[in-house]
Every structure is written in C-alpha cells, then in structure tokens.
C-alpha cells in the first residue's frame, strides 16, 4: 500500500511497507514514477543538421540565441590567458582541495589500467589482445542550474590516465560568464582545449567537427534533455558514455544510525534536480518516521530548498521491510545509481546485491565522499541501467585489438576445421584461402 504521512508543510511523504497488501503495485509505481522524458528528437536533429551544414556560424548563432552571448568563430575557444586568469582567481584552499581530489581520482583510475595479453596455445598459435587509447575525447560540462568542477575531473582524468592525447571540453557560458573553478579543474585534469559552447550544438560539433573544433572519437559527460538526445543521435559516428538521467540514491539503514545523517544523505541527491530520487529502506518503521521528520527539518535550511523539496515530495520514499534479505531483493530491482549501506556488517549485505552503479559502505562513508574525493568515478548508470551498465572508467577510453600469429605447422593443425566450417557455410573463398596453405612450408 502507498501510505502518505502528513508533513508540517502540508505535503504528504510517501511510505511503503512490504507487509501491506498493495505493496507490489506501489513499488512498481515508484520504479517508474520518473518516466517523463521530453520528446526533443526533432529539434535536436535540426540543430545537428544545421551545425553539420554551417559549422562555426551555426554554433555562434545558437550561442547568441540560447546563452545570450555574441561570439565570432575566433572567440569559440577559451584562450590560455583566460584560463590563467580564471585559475588565479580561485582561492588557494579551493585549488588545494581540487588538487587533492584530482590526485585521488587519478591514482584510482591508473590502477585500473589493464595489461596486454599474449599466450601460445597447444596448437602452436600465438594469441594476443592489445589495449590502445582513443585519439581524441570530447567532454560536455553543464553550465545551467549549477557548475560542477568535480565532473570535469571525473570525465577528463580517466581519459588522460588511459593515454588519450587530445581532450576537448565544451561548456556553455550563459551571458558570457565562465566558472573559474571549472576552468581550474580543466587545467588540473589535463584538458587540452576548452570551447564556450553548449547544448546539442556542442555535441554536434564534437561529433562532426567544424572549422574551429576538430571531431573527437567519444563524447562523455552529463547534460540536459537536449544534450542527452544529441548524444543518442550522434552515437555510431562517435562513442558515448551513456544517456544519463536524473540522479538517485538508495540507502539501506538500520535504527542504529542518526536519522539526521540519513536525511542529509537523502537530500544530497534531492538537491540536484526536481526529478532526482532519494529512497531509504529500513527494518524499523519508527526509524523511517524519524528520518522523514529529519528530512522535513533540513529542507528549509538548504539554499536549494525548492529543488530538494520538490524531489523529496514527488519522488522520495521510505520503505519498511521485514529483514535485510527482503531489502537486498528490493535493492536489486531498483538497481540504483548510488547505494549506501549503513548497517552493522555492510560488506556482507553488499555481497547479496548485484546491481548498483557505486556502493558506499558503513555509517561514515556518505555518497558525497564519492562525488568529490573518494577516487572511483561519479559518472554512473541511472534509471535502473545499473542492471547492465557500469560507471565511467579508463575502459571507456581504451579499445581492444586481438591478434593471431602462427606458422605453417600451427595452420596444419587448426586449418582443416576452418576449411570444413567455411565450406559448410558456403563460403568457398574462405575455405580456399586456408586450404591453399595447408601442408606448404613457409616462404623462404
């Protein structure tokens, strides 16, 4: 059953309990209550076609229209002097925090780098797999409701750690205002080019190139519905990381936790966006009520109270379960972007959960640590896609090439089976290309 508990502001807070007869229907509704994607296919397709046709001129026109800033093609790229000036305006303590976060992120992502493979099998063939970095990557950085220098680090550092030589960043600058900390993060992360253009037009420029912006091989980074749709439409021409949706957190917490801690962890996601979802699962109904009350008390104190309040009102939920086995089963169905486990033995409970973008274990590891300084990436699968997708890593900026090497003796052993299979498929040139070599000594 979908219960509602009156709150002080007159808004009802949603609670579910697995003991209620209507729980299953209410839980399914919770899983789908953010399916409100905008249909922006047509306008995005038109913008992409225009950028392909008119290049820099189209970028300048859209920047004037959407960002209220007049640009000429020679002003699309942010100059080194502008970046230097921006970095100099960032307070020393913030630069130190940025460097601390970047160092931790880089260390973790460099540890992910895979080794090439080489092995010789019993038939005498030498088989291998070689990893190589992409040549060029484009990073989209939002410039709307908030600027996120942490996202610059999370997108650019893995690319550089993988060995990508060219990292180009696009960032909208409404009314010509640039965020100094974003530019400082780009400098620290090794971004080689920065362009003051955003929206689906920026994605099109990265995918197809213009006179000022050379095309890239993969585009990563979050954006609004138009950016997400543009990434969807250019996929195939370039690679993309994912089609990101609103942020989400699922917290599994027992009654030994401080309700205010859990409330703030929920609001850390709710303040992102009105469509963000924050859910807590607990085995104590009384604790669930205490958390909801703490959330109500904290919302008015936040600078983004309207956003956080709308998110909690429309998409937040407290779920009461019989036990943690039941909680784990629900968590696997939710497949959350962020999972916090705040119980006596969080690792044991985590071992039973298969689907989560990133997990944060224990009472002193809030998800916000992962957003900034933990080390693992905060670009994660949303909207239940953690069932089949993973967070951003160095692997997104690498590709694999397999190879085979062998002499005539090895071909004598494996070739007959290849010939038989090719003939069975009716591909005679395949069969003959192998058969003509069988039994022949190597060329001198």
pLDDT tens column, 201-238: 999 999 999 999 999 999 999 888 899 999 999 999 99
Report the catalytic residues.
337-338
Is residue 34's pLDDT more than 80? no
Q: What pairing do the DSSP bridges indicate for beta strands 12-17 and 2-6?
A: antiparallel
Task: Please report the pLDDT score of residue 35 as a whole number.
Answer: 67
CA gap 296, 425 in Å, rounded? 67
pLDDT tens column, 231-275: 999 999 999 999 888 999 999 999 999 999 999 999 999 999 999
CA gap 275, 247 in Å, rounded? 8
> Hey, what are 23's tokens?
């729980």
More confident residue, 415 or 444: 415
Task: Please report the pLDDT score of residue 244 as a whole number.
Answer: 84
Phi/psi of residue 120, each to 5°?
A: -110, 125
Beta-sheet strand order (sheet of 2-6): 2-6, 12-17, 317-320, 277-282, 248-253, 338-342, 358-361
The closest of 249, 259, 248 to 287, measured between CA atoms, is 259
pLDDT tens column, 286-299: 999 999 999 999 99
CA gap 47, 392 in Å, rounded? 28
Mean pLDDT of the chain: 94
Is residue 440's pLDDT more than 70? no
Q: Please write down the HEC assignment for all residues of 386-425.
A: HHCCCCCCHHHHEEEEEEEECCHHHHHHHHHHHHHHHHHC
Residue ranges and CATH numbers for the domains of the chain are: 2-32+245-388 (3.40.50.1980), 41-116+133-240 (3.40.50.1980), 407-444 (no CATH)
Is residue 94's pLDDT more than 50? yes
> Whole-model pTM?
0.91
pLDDT tens column, 121-150: 999 999 999 999 999 999 999 875 467 899
End-to-end CA distance of the chain: 80
Task: Please report the pLDDT score of residue 36 as a whole number.
Answer: 59
CA gap 271, 151 in Å, rounded? 16
CA angle at residue 24 from 18 to 27, to 5 degrees?
A: 85
Task: Please report the pLDDT score of residue 7 as a whole number.
Answer: 45
Question: Locate tokens 């001198």: which residue?
Answer: 444
The DSSP string of 99-116 is HHHHHHHHHHHHTTPPPP
Mean pLDDT value of segment 314-327? 97
Mean pLDDT value of segment 386-410? 97
């Amino acid at each position: 059953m979908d219960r509602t508990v009156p709150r002080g502001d007159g808004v009802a807070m949603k609670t579910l309990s697995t003991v209620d007869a209507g729980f299953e229907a209410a839980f399914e509704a919770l899983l789908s209550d953010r399916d409100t994607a905008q249909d922006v296919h047509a306008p995005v397709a038109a913008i992409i076609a225009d950028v392909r046709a008119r290049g820099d001129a189209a970028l300048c026109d859209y920047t004037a229209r959407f960002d209220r800033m007049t640009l000429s093609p020679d002003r699309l790229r942010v100059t080194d002097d502008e970046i230097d000036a921006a970095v100099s305006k960032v307070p020393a303590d913030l630069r130190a925090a940025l460097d601390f976060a970047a160092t931790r992120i880089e260390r973790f992502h460099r540890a992910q780098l895979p080794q090439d493979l080489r092995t010789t099998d019993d038939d005498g063939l030498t088989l291998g797999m070689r990893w190589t970095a992409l040549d060029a990557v484009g990073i989209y950085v939002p410039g709307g409701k908030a600027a996120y220098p942490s996202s610059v680090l999370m997108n650019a550092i893995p690319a550089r750690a993988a060995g990508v030589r060219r990292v180009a960043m696009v960032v909208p600058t409404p009314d010509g205002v640039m965020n100094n900390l974003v530019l400082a993060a780009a400098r620290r992360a090794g971004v080689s080019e920065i362009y003051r253009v955003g929206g689906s037009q920026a994605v099109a420029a990265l995918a197809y190139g213009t006179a000022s912006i050379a095309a890239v091989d993969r585009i990563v980074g979050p954006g609004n519905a138009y950016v997400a749709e543009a990434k969807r439409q250019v996929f195939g021409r370039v690679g993309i990381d994912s089609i990101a949706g609103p942020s989400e957190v699922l917290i599994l917490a027992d009654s030994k936790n401080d309700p205010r801690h859990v409330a703030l962890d929920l609001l850390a996601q709710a303040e992102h966006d009105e469509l963000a979802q924050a859910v807590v699962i607990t085995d104590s109904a009384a604790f669930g009520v205490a958390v909801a009350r703490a959330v109500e008390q904290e919302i008015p104190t936040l600078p983004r109270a309207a956003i956080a309040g709308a998110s909690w009102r429309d998409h937040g939920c407290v779920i009461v379960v019989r036990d943690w086995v039941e909680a784990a089963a629900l968590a696997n169905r939710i497949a959350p972007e962020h999972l916090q486990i705040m119980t006596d033995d969080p690792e044991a409970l985590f071992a039973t959960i298969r689907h989560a973008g990133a997990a944060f274990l224990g009472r002193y590891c809030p998800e916000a640590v992962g957003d900034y300084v933990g080390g693992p990436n905060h670009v994660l699968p949303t909207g239940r896609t953690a069932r089949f997708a993973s967070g951003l890593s160095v692997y997104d900026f690498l590709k694999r090439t397999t190879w085979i090497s062998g002499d005539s003796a090895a071909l004598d052993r494996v070739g007959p089976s290849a010939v038989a299979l090719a003939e069975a498929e009716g591909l005679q040139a395949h069969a003959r290309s192998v058969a003509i070599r069988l039994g022949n000594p190597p060329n001198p």
